[in-house]
Structure 1
Amino acid sequence: MKSSEDSLRTSMPNPEPKTAPRGLPWIAALLTMTFWASSFVVIRDAGEAFSPGPMALLRGASAALVLSVWMLFRRPRFPSGKVTWLIMILWGVAWFAVYVVVLNAAEKSIDAGTAAMIVNIAPLIIAVFAGLVLGEGLPKRLIIGIIVSLLGIGMITAATFTGFFTVGGLVLSLVAALLYASCVLLQKHFLSREDSVTVTWAGIFVGALASLVFAPALVTEVAAAPLNMTLQVVYLGVVPTAIAFNLWGYALKHLPAGLLSSSSLVVPAIVVLLAWIVLGEVPPPLAAAGGVLCLAGAATAIGPQIAGALRRSRSQPSALP
C-alpha cells in the first residue's frame, strides 16, 4: 500500500513551484531600472506639452488600462485584511499620484539633473531605515557603494547643470525623495506578502482615480499637444509604470528593501547612456566619469549578491514562478 501511494505521489505533477530561480529578482530589478531610466529621457521631451498634473493622470490612466485588460485574463488575489486594504490605498495614492505630480512639478522649477540628484538620496534613506528598523542590517559594502554612487550622481549633476534653480524646486525634490523612500518601505513591510501583480494594479488604479482632479486640464492639453507627445506619455504609463512597477513588486517580494533600492543608483548612468543613444546628446567628460562612478558604486553595493544569486540559480535550478 505504501509503495503504491509513493508511486502515485511521484507521478502527480507539482501544482505549485516552491521557489523562483534566485537570479530572476535581480533580472527584474535591472529591467526596472532600465525602464525607469528611459522615463527621464521621455519626460524631458513630453514635459514641454504637458503640465505636472495632467501628465500624471495620462500616465496613470494608461497604466491602469493596460493592467486592467491583463487582469481580465488573470484572477486577482486581493488582500483579506481591512488594514492591508487601507495601506494599499494609501500607498497607491502616495506612489502613483502624489509622488509623480510632485516630481513633475519639481522639474518645472529646478534643473532636471539637480532634481534627479536630490531624489536619489532615497536609496540611502531606505537602506538606513531598513537596516535599523526592519532588521536588514547595514553592511559596510552597501553604505560605501551608495556613497560612491551619490558622488557619481553629483558629478553628472554638475556637468549638466543649467542654472535653473529655485527654493521651491529644491523643497519639492526633497519631498519626492521622502515619498519615494516611504512608499518602498511601506510596500516592503506591509504589502510584499500579497500578490504583487494585484497590489500593483490596485495601487496604479487608485493613483489614477486620485489624479482625476486634473481631467479638465488634461483634455485641454491633449487637444493642443502634438500626437507624438501624447504617445510618449502613454509610453510612460505602459512601460516605466505598468510593466516596470510589476517587475519591481516581484523583486521587492524576494529581496531586502535596502539592497534592492540601491540598484536604482545605476539609473543616472543609464540615463546618460540613453540620452546619448536616443537623443544624440554626447555626455560631457565629467558626466561620463560620474556615470562610471554610479556603476562602480552599484557594483560594490549589490554586485556580489547578484553574482551569488546567478551562480546558485545555475547550480540549483528551480521552477519558474
Structure 2
Amino acid sequence: MKLKHALLAILVAVIWGTNFLAINATLQDIPPLLSVALRFLLVVFPWIFFIKRPAAKLSMVLAIGLTTSLGQFAILYLALKLGMPVGLAPLVLQAQVLFTALIAMGFLKERLKAMQLIGIGLGVLGLVIVGIGRAQLAPLLPFILTLLAAFSWSIGNVITRLAQQTKPSSGEPAASGLSMVVWSSTIVPIPMFLLSLLFEGPNALGEALSQLHWPAVAGMLYTVLISSLVGYGIWNSLLSRYPASAVGPYSLLIPVVGIVSAWLVLGELPSPAEVLGGALLLAGVGFAVLRWPRPGLVPPVVAQAPKRQPVQSRR
C-alpha cells in the first residue's frame, strides 16, 4: 500500500475511534433511539438525490441497512446510554470480525485456516475475560448489548459479501462505495422514529430540541458527515484499490484510538481485566484478519535475461 493510502487508512481509524466520543456527546441531550433516527435521516438526505443507487439487488441493500446500520447502531446507542464505557465499546465491537468468520463458515461455506481458528479462540477468551471484569464493576447488560451490536454488524458483513458475489450487467461493484452507505440507510429513519415514539414518548423530540447544547449538535454532525460519509467514503475507496486483507488490519487501530481518546477526554481508565481481555481480543482479531504465508513456501525467483554483450564495431 502506498504511503498516502496508508495514512488515509490511519485517518479513518482515528475518525472511527473518536466517533464514540461524538455519540456520547449526542446522547447527553437526545435519547438513543431518536439519536439513531436523526443520524440516519441526515445520512440519507439530501445526499440520496446526488448519489446513484448501488448495483446490488434492492433486497440486499435493505438487508444491509437493517443489520449494519439499524441493528448495529440502535443496540450500540442503547448500550452506551445504559453505561457501556465509551473507550471499551469500540474494543468489544471488534468481535464482529470473529462473528463474521463463523457466520461465513456456516452460510458461505468458507473454510477457516488454522490461524483464523486460533484467532477466534483467543478472541473468545478475551471477550470472556472482559465480560467477567465488567460484571465485577458494573451491570453486564451494556456489555451484552454491545456484543449483540457486533453480531448484527457481522450479519451485515456476510450479506455484503453475498452482494459482492453478484455480477451486475452494468459491471459496477455491487456492494461497495458511498452509495451503499447512503441507500442502505434509507430503511433506518422511519422504524427508529416509530420505536422512539413508542419507547421514548411523543415528546422526546420536542424535549431534546428544547435542551439541545452545542456538544450534542457537534456530535451529531460528526457522526453524519465525518464518520459516516467521509470515513466510509475513504474506506471504500481503499477497498476498491487494495484487497480487504491489506486494508482490514488498520481497523485494529480503532479500539486503541477509542480507549486513548476516552481516557484523555472523559478520564476513563480500563480495569486490569479489561486490558488483559482486550489484548487477547485484539490478538485474536489480528490472527483472523492478517494474511499468513504458508510454511515452507518460498517466493519464486524471477529469472533474469542474460545481459547482452556490447558488439564491437569493425572498422
TM range (shorter): 0.5 to 0.7
Label 1:267 to 1:162 Cα distance change in 2 as closer, same or farther (>3 A). Answer: farther
In structure 1, the partner of 2:112 is 138
CA distance in 1, matches of 2:265, 2:138: 24
Choose the corresponding residue for 2:42, options 58, 62, 83. Answer: 62
Q: What is the aligned partner in structure 1 of residue 19 from structure 2?
A: 39
Q: TM-score, normalised by structure 1?
A: 0.67
Query: Distance between the aligned counterparts of 2:125 and 2:14, measured in 1?
Result: 20
Between the two proteins, the alignment pairs up a number of residues equal to 277
Q: Tell me, what secondary structure is at the counterpart of 1:107? A: helix
C-alpha distance in structure 1 between counterparts of 2:81 and 2:71, whole Å: 15
Cα separation, 1, equivalents of 2:75 and 2:120:
24
2:101 to 120, 127, 136: 127
Matched residues in 1 for 2:132 and 2:41: separation?
Answer: 35
Partners of 2:193 and 2:95 lie apart in 1 by 30
1:160-183 deviation per Cα after TM superposition (whole angstroms, max 9, x unaligned): 66743265x566445323311111
Deviation per residue, 1:71-90 (Å, 9 max, x gap): 73xx62542x7xx1122123
1:226 paired with 2:206, answer: no
Contact 2:103 2:155 in 1 (8 A): no
Distance 2:268 2:138 in 1: 19
For structure 1, list consecutive stretches of 5 or more residues without a partner in the other structure: 1-20, 306-321
Residues 248-299 of structure 1 deviation map (CA, whole Å, 9 limit, x = unaligned): 4445666459x97776555333321222334454555555555554554444
Amino acid of the residue matched to residue 226 of structure 2? V
| Amino acid across the alignment from 2:72 | Y
- Measured after TM superposition, the shift of residue 34 of structure 1 is 3.2
3-state SS in 2 of match to 1:270: helix
Q: Relative to structure 1, is the Cα distance of residues 267 and 160 closer, same or farther in structure 2, using a 3 angstrom cutoff? A: farther
Cα drift, residue 49 of structure 1: 2.0
Offset of 1:32 from its aligned partner? 4.0
Q: Give, in whole Å, the separation in 2 of the partners of 1:115 and 1:208.
A: 23
Deviates more, 1:114-123 or 1:135-144: 114-123
Q: Which is further off, 244-253 or 190-199? A: 244-253
* Secondary structure at 1:76 match in 2: coil
Report the Cα offset of residue 211 of structure 1. Answer: 3.3
Of 192, 196, 201, 2:182 maps to 201
**Correspondence for 1:184:** 157
Query: Does the 8 Å contact 2:181/2:228 carry over to 1?
Result: no
> How far apart are 1:146 and its partner, in Å?
4.3
1:266–1:146 distance in 2 versus 1, CA, 3 Å: farther
- Between 1:50-59 and 1:104-113, the stretch displaced more is 104-113
Partner of 2:52: 76
Take 2:24 and 2:139, find their aligned partners in 1: how far apart are those partners? 16
**Mapped contact 1:39–1:236 kept (Cα < 8 A):** yes
Distance in 2, matches of 1:23 and 1:136, equals 32
Task: Give the fraction of aligned pairs with identical amino acids, expressed as a percent.
Answer: 20
Distance 1:279 1:40 in 2: 11
**Contact in 2 for aligned 1:29/1:260 (Cα 8 Å):** yes
Report if the CA contact (8 A) 1:37-1:271 is conserved. yes
Give the gaps of 5 or more residues in structure 2. Answer: 166-172, 293-315
Deviation at 1:135, TM superposition (A): 4.9
Q: Match for 1:46: what amino acid?
A: T
What is the root-mean-square deviation of aligned Cα atoms in Å? 4.0
- Structure 2 CA distance for partners of 1:187 and 1:139, relative to 1, 3 Å: same
1:164 is matched with: 138
Deviations, residues 123-165 of structure 1 (Å, cap 9, x unaligned): 2121123245435431222333344455556666666667432
2:229 maps to 242
Contact 1:59 1:237 in 2 (8 A): yes
Contact 2:64 2:159 in 1 (8 A): yes
Give distance in 2, aligned partners of 1:126 and 1:153.
15
Structure 1: which amino acid aligns with 2:78?
Answer: A
The residue type equivalent to 1:144 in the other structure is: I
TM-score normalised according to structure 2 size: 0.68
Distance 1:129 1:78, change over 3 A: closer
When Rg is computed on C-alpha atoms for both structures, the one with the higher figure is 2
Shift of 1:186: 0.7
